[in-house]
Amino acid sequence: MKKIIAMMLLLAAPASGQTISLDALSSYLNAMTTAESAFIQITDDGSQSTGRMYIKRPGRIRFEYDPPELALVIVGGGQVAVFDPKANAEPTRFPLIHTPLSLVLERTVDLARRDMVVMHKSEGPITFIVLQDPDRPEYGSIQLMFTDNPVQLSQWIVDDNSGSQTQIILGDWVQGQEIPNILFNIQAEMQK
């Protein structure tokens, strides 16, 4: 399944072979105020989940998982909260800065000036970058994949530095629409 999805992304992308510059990728991320997308999540064991993702930069993202999963992950206020309806407990919470996703959700992303890019290359129409906080390598890394013409984030892989990887493949990407702040309010979600 992973190979089929990757092949679909390559076929759908323009057939350019140029690596998108770090400045262009930074500009793309900084211009992204809001975005919404369907997603497929693939874990190391091959299990898959689907759902809807919402981004509101800086610092906010929400993953709503489809049935039977029904989990929810909210990033807001510098915190990550993982809601598991099967657990009947408070959400698991930890600081956003403890994840490599924080590098993408910063107020201002400047990939060319920060010492966080550990890989930057292209394969066909896809540009890959791997980001890792040089001051906190123990928090793992994130590999971002972008298509060009126009530049668009298509997927990422988070490596938590313990050997575990989670891949997120994005689809039906919509950018610039209004997304309410309440979607990223962890306390409000806890009161539901």
Residue 2 falls inside a structural domain: no
Residue 106 falls inside a structural domain: yes
Residue 97 falls inside a structural domain: yes
How many domains does the structure of the chain reveal? 1
Residue 6 falls inside a structural domain: no
Give the pLDDT means over successive 10-residue stretches in the chain (192 positions).
Answer: 40 59 94 95 93 96 92 95 85 90 90 87 92 86 90 91 88 93 94 84
pLDDT of residue 163: 79
pLDDT of residue 17: 62
pLDDT of residue 4: 36
User: From CA 60, how far away is CA 152, in angstroms rounded?
Assistant: 18
pLDDT of residue 108: 93
pLDDT of residue 192: 83
Residue 48 falls inside a structural domain: yes
Q: Evaluate whether 132 touches 85 at the Cβ level (below 8 Å).
A: no
Measuring CA to CA, how many Å separate 114 from each of 64, 103, 109, 111, 140?
31, 10, 9, 5, 16
Q: Evaluate whether 88 touches 65 at the Cβ level (below 8 Å).
A: no
pLDDT of residue 1: 40
Which CATH number covers residue 46?
2.50.20.10
Residue 4 falls inside a structural domain: no
Q: Evaluate whether 132 touches 151 at the Cβ level (below 8 Å).
A: no
pLDDT of residue 161: 77
**CA 137 centroid distance within chain:** 18
The helices-and-strands tally (H runs, E runs) of the chain is 4, 11
Q: Evaluate whether 150 touches 130 at the Cβ level (below 8 Å).
A: no
Residue 5 falls inside a structural domain: no
Residue 129 falls inside a structural domain: yes
Domain extent, residue 105, equals 16-190
